Structures are given as structure tokens and as C-alpha cells.
A and B are shown apart, each in its own frame.
Chain A
């Protein structure tokens, strides 16, 4: 079975983002970019499925500017077999991303798509669900355990009260949660090997997808800062302040 994994280039999770002074967005120039952490988990899961002999080939797809190739290379170094870059300079919203991924998934004839449950930049948590809808495939979101067999996937999902397990007919879409696995670091030999792996490039128009955004960002601002607090010397003072100053206990 072929697997498609979607990988997004985002501001590295360790970077403290700054809002631009003109409020048009957050500063991304000169900022360290990395693969969305949830997508790393998706790549890792796909590679493990290939190592188990369940998957035959892993295709890593990214949508975005030319530099998104680097993100695909990271996936290739982790163990994906080849890459597809759908190149565009436009900001592509989850709906359009889902439409592009649908076309790629159908072209490649994959048995499942695995992707991160959310990107840590826009925090939308929508693409996988939308992709599943557009394909008419079932979805296993927020996965903490995945078992793929011929014809069906069993997915344990992180839900508000604990865990829920669902069975999905394949093909299906799976989105990854934090505890699905711990992604490997690519070894140097694998990074070298990844340079020789193929990345094909497409435009959204090649897939007949209109990426015109539906949302306009009016402004991006800093959240209101909390006023600075105080240090208290001991438990007695803390309890006294909570009782008499904050009046919360």
C-alpha cells in the first residue's frame, strides 16, 4: 500500500514569534523554519509502517514556496521515498490544501494519507478532516495508535475524556497526535541519500485547484499582556493573598 504524508514548513516551535508592527502578520523573515512537529510524527508513523512491511512506498507532499523543498528533504531523510512539491507563493488555506492533497492522493493511488492534526502556525486543526470529506474517506483524527491491515485501519484517538478507538475502511485519512510515536532524527548517511531522492514539482493549476483564500486577515495583534505578578515568600502568604487579595479561595 502506498502512503501519502503531508508536511508543512512552519516557524520552528522553539521560536518566540513576533507580531509585525504593521499588524499584517507575524515576522517570518530570518526566522528558523522547520517541519511542523505533528507532521514529523506523521512521517515517522509512515516509515514505521513501511518497516513493518505494511506500506510499500511513502510519498511526502508539501504545499508552499520553493523552500518547502527543504521540508520534503527532511521527510526523505527520515525515510520517505519521494517527494511532491506543489509550489505556490500564495498563502494556502486548509480548504485549498485539502483540495490539492485530494488530487495528489488520487493521482498517486494511495491507500491512506497520514498528516499532522494541526499546524503550529495557524493552529487550524482542519486539513485532515477536510481532505477525508472531499475524498469521501473515513477519518481517524488525533491518533495515538494506528494499526493498518488489508482493508481497514484501527485508530485509537485522543479525545476529551480519554481515548476512543475506531475502525476505518481503507482508504482513510489519519491525523497524528503527540503520543503516536517519537520521530527519529535523520542520520547523516540518510540525509545524504535523501539528496538523491526525486522531488517532482507541480502548480496548483496543474491540479485544477483554485487556491483563492476565503478568509482575509484584517489584522494580527499581540494578545493582551498579563500584568506582572509578585513572588510570595511562603505558603502562608500565598494562602492569605488568594483569600483576601484575589478572593479566589
Chain B
């Protein structure tokens, strides 16, 4: 039986975490993908080019325009009979939709996998990544969200899959979309960035993010992240948060500035290839995971760094 991957996309195209989910799915069997949305012919065409995908299922209906959990879960359940595994990247949408679909299928989902052992057995981080559990599922069908940072994404192009329309599933409309406030940024997305520079409570305010971190991000082509403390304090919006309950990232280079390194933050970035920490407290836990640590006042270090790049 083939494997179904539910794709995340927006106006910019298919999200990189979905390409990581396809990489995970490819270890399990032939990969079909689901594009659900409103006016998604372009996305479906892009999905057909993803290497390793043999079929693109398209559900084009206003009901799926905002990926609300209720209609999405009904749609996935209507398609589930043909698939041994159903996967989605552990994005906000994947975390919202897939467990709902799993319950309707009477399946215990396997959240946020970081490894595939075999068709029934998966590795997933628990306790904020302080332990890795290898779990084997006895369910006939597996419903899985994928930690994108743990799987190299497949390329965006190279395949030629067939595109097939699927019927809209019945759904009692008990939820509706009212609106959104999406942060606008010229920078790469956190979950797709090669370089990330994150600030913590040490930044003191939002203006300092703009004044000291943004110019460095600009020079490095980096995404800007933050610790929970900086988000809670209102320096930057919630979508900047890196950590156990925010975004999980593993860029080539992660620069942590004024971040002490709480377990919950480390959980979101400790798989980065190279970690740099800048903190005035030489005992800050962030230095324990840093490849390069610089003890110093960020208000001196950041302008110097900007000049040196």
C-alpha cells in the first residue's frame, strides 16, 4: 500500500517541511501527496514535480481554503483506506489536523518523529528532546507527524507525478475561519533557513532586535528567531519562538544572542550543525551546546559582528 503525505503550502508555494516529510515517507513506500485547498491547481502542478511522488491527490474546494482541522480530518479519513501510513510535517497545521484524523480512524498517532526504523517502528523525542523513544505501533494504519529538521528535504523538482482529483468529504461546518495576522518578513522562514540568529531576554526590547539583529540577519541571509522569554516579553511575535513548543530548527548555523539556554529552548535548536552563543554570563547553559562561545556584552558584540561580516 502506498503512503500519503499531506502537504503544507501557502501563496509562496509548498513548504520546505513538507519536502522533509516526503523524505521520511519515501522510507516507507510509494509516496502520494494530498493538496487540499481552494484554487490550488498551481500547487498541485508544483507537487507533481517533487521527486519520489507518484501521485498528487487534489481536493479543490472552498471548505479547505484555510486548512481548518475539521474538514481536513474528514477529507483525510475519506482517503485513508488506500494508505498504510499517513504523514504530515509537524507544522502548526500538521499538529492540528493529523491527530484529529487519527482519532477518527481509531489510531494512536505518532507525533514528531525524528527517525524511521521500519514500517511500524519510529524514533521520537520526548521530554523536550532530552530522551529519544523508539516506539512500535500495533495499529494497522499509522498516522505520523514528521520533525522536518530531522530529515533532509527532497528537492523541489525532478519528478513527474500524475494528478488526480478527489471528492470533497462531508463535513458538518462547526468551525469557521475569521482571519489571521501573519508576520511579514523579507527573511527566510525559520524552518527553512540555512542560518538563524536568535535573541533572548538579553535583547531588552523589540527595538534592539531591529537595530542589532536585523542588520546581521540581512548580511547572512538569516532568519530571525527568539527565545520564549523574548516572545513572552513582547519583543517579537510568537512565530519567532524556537523551542520545545515553538519551532524546531536545525540550520547550518545558529547564533544565540542573549539567550541563557533553558532546556525548553535547547530542545528547539540543539540539532543545529554549528551553534554560536553570545552571552555576558559565562556560566549560561547555552555555552554547553555551543561550538563557539563568546562571553561578552551583546550591545558591543553585535555591532562589531555586523562590521566584520
Contacts and interface: CB of A to CB of B under 8 A. Distances in A.
A220 B131 contact: yes
Contact of B294 (A11, A172, A179, A234): A234
Contacts of A241: 292
Contacts of B293: 229-232
A21 B95 CA distance: 32
Interface stretch (A69-77, A131-139, A187-195): A131-139
A125 to B, nearest CB: 5
Contact of A165 (B126, B137, B178, B244): B178
B93 interface: yes
Interface in A93-149: 93-95, 98, 117-118, 120-127, 129-134, 136-142, 144
Name which of B97, B238, B275, B289 has the most chain A CB atoms within 10 A of its CB: B238
B99 A126 contact: yes
A90 interface: no
A161 B108 contact: no
Contacts of A249: 195, 220, 253, 309
Given A13-B264, A167-B176, A217 B135 contact: yes
Nearest to A241: B292
Interface string A182-218: 0000000000000000000000000000000111111
A58 B226 CA distance: 35
A158 interface: yes
Nearest to B222: A249
A65 interface: no
A168 B132 contact: no
A30 interface: no
Interface in B187-211: 189, 191, 195
Contacts of A229: 275, 287, 289-293
B252 A168 contact: no
Given A120-B244, A162-B181, A178-B232, A125 B130 contact: no
Contacts of A158: 92, 238-239
Contacts of A11: 127
A92 B247 CA distance: 27
Nearest to A240: B308
Contact of B231 (A26, A179, A231): A179
A233 to B, nearest CB: 8
The 9 A-B residue pairs with the shortest CB-CB distance in the complex, in nearest-first order: A130-B103, A133-B103, A126-B99, A129-B99, A214-B108, A138-B175, A229-B291, A138-B174, A159-B92
24 contacts: A16-B263, A93-B108, A98-B103, A117-B245, A120-B244, A123-B244, A134-B103, A159-B93, A161-B10, A162-B180, A162-B237, A179-B232, A214-B138, A215-B136, A223-B131, A226-B270, A229-B290, A230-B292, A231-B293, A231-B295, A238-B294, A239-B308, A246-B292, A249-B253
Interface of B: 10, 66, 68-70, 73, 91-93, 95-104, 106-112, 121, 124-139, 172, 174-183, 189, 191, 195, 220, 228, 231-232, 237-239, 244-245, 247, 252-253, 263-264, 270, 273-276, 282, 287-295, 301, 304-305, 308-309
